[in-house]
Structure 1
C-alpha cells in the first residue's frame, strides 16, 4: 500500500494566515478553501525552489503548531468482501418421480445435496469431482438452486491458531483469583472509568481473570478489547477467548493479509463480535460500547510505536477506557515502573497475585559467574558447564528447554587484530553483525549488508576474528554439545515468512522440538507445560546500553523468561549466565523480587530525575553533518531552557546511536512535572527554527533514548 499525504488548514491556521510571512503565509493561504490538498501540489504553490524542497518540514512544523492537520488516505488495491457460490437442492430435486434422466455425476450431486439442507459450496462439490458445469446443468433443470453468499477469510486458520483450547469457565478459581474478581467485578458493573494494575507472578492465572471479567462484561451487553504485545501471542490468546465465546471473537494485527484485515475490521465495525483481540494497533479498533479493556504484559516496549504517529498503546487504552467509561486492567508479572508508581500512589487500583495456580513453585534460579567459566574453559565459552549438564538431564527426562540470548546473528562484530578496527555500517554508527547462514555481515538498523570480509575494511590485514555471539552461534553450540536434542531457533531471521512464528511455536508445543533457542520473542507470555529448564546466555547483554531503562528491561526479561519454566507438573529451573552477578537487576531477578527491584530502581530514577519521578521528552535533531545537528539542537535547547516555564534541560549531546541511516543525531532531554508547560516550551522553541532545518524527532515518554 502507498499513501499520499494531504494537508488541511485548522481554525488556528486561518487566524494565523494574515500574520504569517513568506512560505508560511503562502501555504496557509493556499489552504483557505478548506479542502485537504496534496503536499505535491502545495510545493508548487509555495514558489521558490528552497521552500519547495523544504515543503515537508514546513508542513510538519505547521502541524506541530496546530495550524494544519495532515491526512494520509490509503492508496492501493481496494479490498472487497469475498463471495462464494452455494448450491442447494430444490423441492423438484427432492421429488425423485419428477426427475428427468440424469447422468452419474448429476446423480452424485443430487445425493450429496440431499444430505445438506443448507447447501454445499460449489468449490466443495468440485473437490468431490462434481464440476461447476454439472451444477449449472442441474440448476437449468430446476433441480438445484445456486446463490452467492459472503465468505469471510479465516484469520484463525491462517495464523495457525492452536487447536484444542478448552473452555475453563467451570474451573474453580484460586483464593487470590477469587479475591481479584471480588474487587474487579463491581468496578465493571459500575459502568464508570476505573484503572487497575493486576500484578501477578508468572503462571498465577491472570488470563483466567481476563476471561471471567470478559464474561461479566458481555453479559451486560458491552464489548471487550484484549491487547497483547506481540503477534506471536495472538493465536493462543484468541484460542482461549474463542473456546469461551465461540465465533464472536475477532483479531486485528499487522500479520493478517489485507483481505483478512478488511473482513475482521468490518466484523468489529458491524457489531457482530463481542471480543477483539490484537496487538498495539488494535487499540483503535472500531469497537462500540466497550466495557472492558485488558492490556496484557503492559510493561512491554512493543506497545510503543517509534514511528510517526508515536504513541503508547497502553496509554491510548487508558484514554479510550476513560472515554468509554470502561474498566481497564493492566496485567504483568513485571509492571513498568510508571504503572507500579501510579498504583502505589493511588492512581490505579493495585491487585496482587503472589502464588502460581495449583501452588506450583516458581522456577529455582542458579546464577553462573561467567568470569569463573572463562578462567576454566577459555574466553570464547558460550554455554557454561552447569547449563550443558542441565540440558543433558532435561533431554534424558523427555522434557523441554528454552535458551535465551537477546542478540541475533552468529557474531557481534568482525575485529581486526592488526589495527583494532571493526567492520562498520557506512550509514549507522554500529558494527556489522555476522550472520553465518547467509554469509553476510549485516546492520540491524538500516539493513545494509556485505559479504563477510576476509580482509580488514580499514587496513586490509587478513587477521580477522569474530567477537561476541548471537542466537545463531548459541543454536550451533547447543547442537554440538547436546547432539541428541532436536533444536530450533526463534528470532527475526528464522520467522520472516507469514505464519512462521505460530507454526514454530505449535511444533514446540507439540513436542517436536526439545530445545528452543531465541531472542526475547521466546520470553513473552508463552505457556509450555513441558518446559522445565530455562537457560539465559549473557544475561547482562543489555546493561551496557546508555539508556536509563537498561536495568528495568534486564530485570523484566530475566523474570519473564524464568517464568516459562515449571508451568506444568514438573518443577522448573533457570540457569542465568552473567559477568555481573552482583548487579541489582540480576540479583533481584534471580530472587524474583519485584518490590525490592522497584524500590532500588526508583531511588536511582528520583536521584537522576527520570520517569516516573518526572515526565521526559527526548528531542532528537537530525542533520547531514554533526555540526549542523549540534547547532540546531543547541539553539532549541537554549530557547526551552531560558523560557518562562522553569524546565530542566539536559544536553544537547551526541546521541548514543550518533548516526542512523546516513544522518547524524544530536539529542537533548526536557524534564519536568508539568506536561503542558513542557509541550508549550518546545512548540515555542520550534517556531523560531527555519522550516528547512526542522528534521526533528519529538519522543514523549520514550521507551528508549538511544
Structure 2
C-alpha cells in the first residue's frame, strides 16, 4: 500500500505536547498542517517525524492538508517555543499556535467558500502599502557615554548565525529569578571600577543600558541598530505598550533611511487588524523587513537574520503576559539572544531588580548614561507635605500656584493620577451605601465625561455597567456623593479653575478608538495643549519638548500595598513620570503630594537615586529570601464557590507529601497555605491562590512538571479552572 510518514503535530489544546498523524508524503518539521481533532478541524505545526506512532497504528488519523503558503517555522523558533513551554509549564502547542497571526491558525481561513487560496494568497492580491517618503539623514552626534555604550553592545563577538543555532548550549538555570542567565566569567577588577563601560565587553551577550530619563538611550539603540543592519542582519526592537510604537516608528523610519541605504520597518502589536499583523509577520519572517518594532508578542516572530534584540523600558510589567501562556517577553529575549549568540540590550532608567542584580554580579554587561543628552539638568523633585494642608479637589495651594506660574511662562503642565474615571465610588452620606458591583467584590467606578452623555457606573474588573441611581437603593436619600478622584474629575476641575487653559485628558477611556492615542499625543507635541491630565499611559517614553512641571496626585495609594514589589513599582512609575519634565528646557520641576514624606521611596526619589534605592531593596529581599533570591510559582483556582477553589488548592498542596513522585521535592520546595485573592470574586467567579517557593530555580522546575500533570487529573475531579504561573509579578 501507500507508505505512511508519521508526524508529531503540536495543537493548541491543553492535553499533550504533540499528537500523532500521518501523511502519504514526507512533511518537513515546522510546516503547518490542517487536521481533524475529535469533531473539530484544527491547524497545527509539525514538530517531529517519529519512526513509530505512540498509539495503535489504526487509531492514527491522516492529516487533511499541508499548508505550505508560508516557509516552515525555523528550528531556532521551535527551540524557543519548546523552552517557553518547558519553563512556563504549558504544552508546546499552547505556545506555538497563539504566536502565529490569527489567519495562519484558523482552519476557516483555508476552507471557507471565500478562502480564495488562503490568507497569504488573499494578501498578495491586495495592494501593498506605499513606503514612507524619503527623509534625509539627520543623525545627532553621540556624547562620550553614549559612544561607549554603543561600543560595548557591538563588541560582543558576532559569529555566523547558521552555525550557532544547532550547537548553542542551553543556558543553565540561574541563581536569580525572572531572567535566564548564562554562566559568565567573573568581571575583571578594572571592569567593576568606575572606568568607562567599554572594559571587559566580551563577558556577556546581555547588556543593561542604565540611563537617566532623557539621557539618549534611544540614540544608543539606533546607532547600534544601524551598525547591525549594515552587516545585513535584522533587529528586533521591543517596547512595552502600543501607544509607544507610533513615536518609535517615526524615529526609526526617519533614521533608518540614510543617503545610501533604506531599511524597512515592520510593526506588530495587538492593536493591529489580523491582516496588518499577518503582513508584518510575513515581511519579517521572510527576511524582507529589516526591523521589527513590536510589543511582547513580537518575541515569537521568526527572524532569519536576527542580529540584535533591544528591549526598551525592560522593567515594565507589560512585558509579562497575564492571560494564556504567562511568559515574560524580556526573559525570552535574553534566552533567544543567547541561543543565537546575538547581543540583547535591556534599557531602562529604573531597571528591574532582577536585571540590576544580574548586572551587579557581572552576568549582564552594565553601561551607564548619567547625564541628559541635551545638556539640560534633571528636574528638581520636591515633596509637598499635605498632612495639615487644605486641599481643593485634591490640589494643595502650592500645586495651584505652580500651575499659574507655568501657564504664565507658556510652558506645559502634566498632572499625573493613576486612576481613570470620575470617582472610584459613589457613596450615600446618610446610610453608608456604596456602589458595589453585583458580579464582583469590588466597587463600581463613576464615569462622567465632561460635556458628554449621562454619567454611568462601571466595574473595571468585569466591565459591568449600570445607570447612576437617582436615590440611595437602601434608604432612598437623594444626596449621593462621588468619593475620591479620577482623571475625569481632575480634568473637569482644572477646566473650571483655569478657564483660559487648554486641558486634555489621556487615559484608557479617551484612547479607545484606533488612532486616537496618536492624535491626542500629537496635540501635546504641537503645543496645542497647556495642561495634560493622564494615567501611566503618559509616563512612559514620551518626549514632551515644552513640559516644565509635573504634578503627582495620590502617590501614597500604593505605598503600603501588600505586594512586596509595590515599592519597586512606585519608584519606577514616579521616576518615569518625573522624567517627562524638562527634557528640552531647563528649570523643570516635579511636585509630589504625600502624607509620608519621610518614606524611603520618596527620599531616594528626591536625589534621583535609583542605585541607592535598588541596593536597599535588594538587601531587604535577600534578608527575607524574596525574589530575586528565591523562585516562585503561583497556582490560581477559579470556581463558582470559594470552598471549591480552596478545596482544590488544599488537595494540590497535600500532593507534596502523599504522591510518591513528588515526595522527593518536599525539602526543596515550600508550599504556602491557599488564600482567597484580594478581589476574591470577579464576574461571579470566586478565586483563590497558592504560592510555591524554592531557593533553587532548578528544584522548582523539577517539582512543577510532575505536579502539573497531577493537577490536570485533580482539576477534573473538582470541576474548576486553574492556571499555574511561573515567576509571577503580582502575589
User: Structure 2 length as normaliser, TM-score?
Assistant: 0.75
Compared CA separation, residues 348 and 496, structure 1 to 2 (3 A): same
| 3-state SS of 2:672 partner | strand
Verify: 1:196 aligned to 2:212, yes or no: no
Measured after TM superposition, the shift of residue 670 of structure 1 is 1.0
Measured after TM superposition, the shift of residue 326 of structure 1 is 0.7
User: Structure 1 length as normaliser, TM-score?
Assistant: 0.78
Verify: 1:231 aligned to 2:242, yes or no: yes
Measured after TM superposition, the shift of residue 683 of structure 1 is 4.1
CA distance in 2, matches of 1:286, 1:11: 21
Verify: 1:540 aligned to 2:556, yes or no: yes
**Residue in structure 1 matched with residue 472 of structure 2 by the alignment:** 456
Q: Which shows bigger deviation, 497-506 or 567-576?
A: 567-576
Residues 644-698 of structure 1 show CA distances to partners (whole Å, capped at 9, x for unaligned) of 2221222211111211221111111111133343234344445161524352121
Measured after TM superposition, the shift of residue 81 of structure 1 is 6.6
**Residue in structure 2 matched with residue 241 of structure 1 by the alignment:** 252
**Residue in structure 1 matched with residue 435 of structure 2 by the alignment:** 423
**Residue in structure 2 matched with residue 526 of structure 1 by the alignment:** 542
Contact 1:558 1:586 in 2 (8 A): no
**Residue in structure 2 matched with residue 562 of structure 1 by the alignment:** 578
Verify: 1:553 aligned to 2:569, yes or no: yes
- Which residue of the other structure, out of 599, 603, 621, is the alignment partner of 2:615? 599
CA distance in 2, matches of 1:586, 1:31: 69
- Which residue of the other structure, out of 172, 178, 182, is the alignment partner of 2:151? 182
| 3-state SS of 1:611 partner | coil
- Which residue of the other structure, out of 489, 509, 519, is the alignment partner of 1:503? 519
CA distance in 2, matches of 1:483, 1:187: 56
CA distance in 2, matches of 1:241, 1:539: 34
Contact 2:421 2:489 in 1 (8 A): yes
Compared CA separation, residues 74 and 372, structure 1 to 2 (3 A): farther
Compared CA separation, residues 250 and 67, structure 1 to 2 (3 A): closer
**Residue in structure 1 matched with residue 60 of structure 2 by the alignment:** 33
- Which residue of the other structure, out of 680, 683, 692, is the alignment partner of 1:670? 692
**Residue in structure 1 matched with residue 326 of structure 2 by the alignment:** 310
Residues 385-440 of structure 1 show CA distances to partners (whole Å, capped at 9, x for unaligned) of 12211111111211111111001011111123344342111222111111012511
**Residue in structure 2 matched with residue 74 of structure 1 by the alignment:** 106
Verify: 1:350 aligned to 2:350, yes or no: no
Residues 320-374 of structure 1 show CA distances to partners (whole Å, capped at 9, x for unaligned) of 112221100000000111111111122211111111113311000111122222x
**Residue in structure 2 matched with residue 578 of structure 1 by the alignment:** 594
CA distance in 2, matches of 1:188, 1:492: 43
Verify: 1:648 aligned to 2:670, yes or no: yes
**Residue in structure 1 matched with residue 419 of structure 2 by the alignment:** 407
Compared CA separation, residues 79 and 477, structure 1 to 2 (3 A): farther
CA distance in 2, matches of 1:406, 1:663: 27
**Residue in structure 2 matched with residue 151 of structure 1 by the alignment:** 127
Measured after TM superposition, the shift of residue 185 of structure 1 is 1.8
Contact 2:94 2:325 in 1 (8 A): no
Compared CA separation, residues 7 and 491, structure 1 to 2 (3 A): closer
**Residue pairs, 1:349-388, within 5 angstroms:** 349-373=365-389, 376-377=390-391, 381-388=393-400
CA distance in 2, matches of 1:178, 1:65: 42
CA distance in 1, matches of 2:698, 2:19: 18
CA distance in 1, matches of 2:475, 2:20: 57
Compared CA separation, residues 36 and 281, structure 1 to 2 (3 A): farther
Contact 2:674 2:689 in 1 (8 A): yes
**Residue pairs, 1:290-309, within 5 angstroms:** 290-309=306-325
- Which residue of the other structure, out of 499, 504, 507, is the alignment partner of 1:483? 499
CA distance in 1, matches of 2:123, 2:705: 51
Q: Which shows bigger deviation, 380-389 or 498-507?
A: 380-389
CA distance in 2, matches of 1:277, 1:700: 27
CA distance in 2, matches of 1:427, 1:29: 48
CA distance in 1, matches of 2:540, 2:269: 17
Compared CA separation, residues 36 and 672, structure 1 to 2 (3 A): farther
CA distance in 1, matches of 2:215, 2:136: 18
> 1 or 2, which has the higher helix percentage?
1
CA distance in 1, matches of 2:92, 2:267: 36
Compared CA separation, residues 455 and 351, structure 1 to 2 (3 A): same
**Residue in structure 2 matched with residue 324 of structure 1 by the alignment:** 340
Residue ranges of structure 2 left out of the alignment (5+ in a row): 1-10, 22-53, 65-84, 99-104, 110-117, 165-203, 258-262
**Residue in structure 2 matched with residue 57 of structure 1 by the alignment:** none
**Residue in structure 2 matched with residue 91 of structure 1 by the alignment:** none
**Residue pairs, 1:8-23, within 5 angstroms:** 10=17
- Which residue of the other structure, out of 675, 693, 700, is the alignment partner of 2:726? 700
Larger radius of gyration: 1
CA distance in 2, matches of 1:421, 1:199: 49
**Residue in structure 2 matched with residue 633 of structure 1 by the alignment:** 649
Contact 1:609 1:671 in 2 (8 A): no
**Residue in structure 1 matched with residue 141 of structure 2 by the alignment:** 172
- Which residue of the other structure, out of 246, 254, 266, is the alignment partner of 1:250? 266
Compared CA separation, residues 607 and 453, structure 1 to 2 (3 A): farther
CA distance in 2, matches of 1:543, 1:468: 17
CA distance in 2, matches of 1:589, 1:703: 23
Measured after TM superposition, the shift of residue 242 of structure 1 is 1.2
- Which residue of the other structure, out of 190, 209, 231, is the alignment partner of 2:220? 209
Compared CA separation, residues 668 and 67, structure 1 to 2 (3 A): same
CA distance in 1, matches of 2:94, 2:248: 37
Verify: 1:615 aligned to 2:631, yes or no: yes
CA distance in 1, matches of 2:472, 2:697: 50
Residues 160-181 of structure 1 show CA distances to partners (whole Å, capped at 9, x for unaligned) of xxx9987443x32112112212
Contact 2:215 2:373 in 1 (8 A): yes
Verify: 1:440 aligned to 2:451, yes or no: no
**Residue in structure 1 matched with residue 714 of structure 2 by the alignment:** 689
| 3-state SS of 1:287 partner | coil
Measured after TM superposition, the shift of residue 509 of structure 1 is 0.4
State the aligned residue count: 592
CA distance in 1, matches of 2:704, 2:393: 49
Q: Which shows bigger deviation, 431-440 or 486-495?
A: 431-440
Contact 2:672 2:691 in 1 (8 A): yes
CA distance in 2, matches of 1:8, 1:616: 24
Compared CA separation, residues 244 and 74, structure 1 to 2 (3 A): same
Root mean square deviation of aligned Cα: 3.1
CA distance in 2, matches of 1:617, 1:28: 33
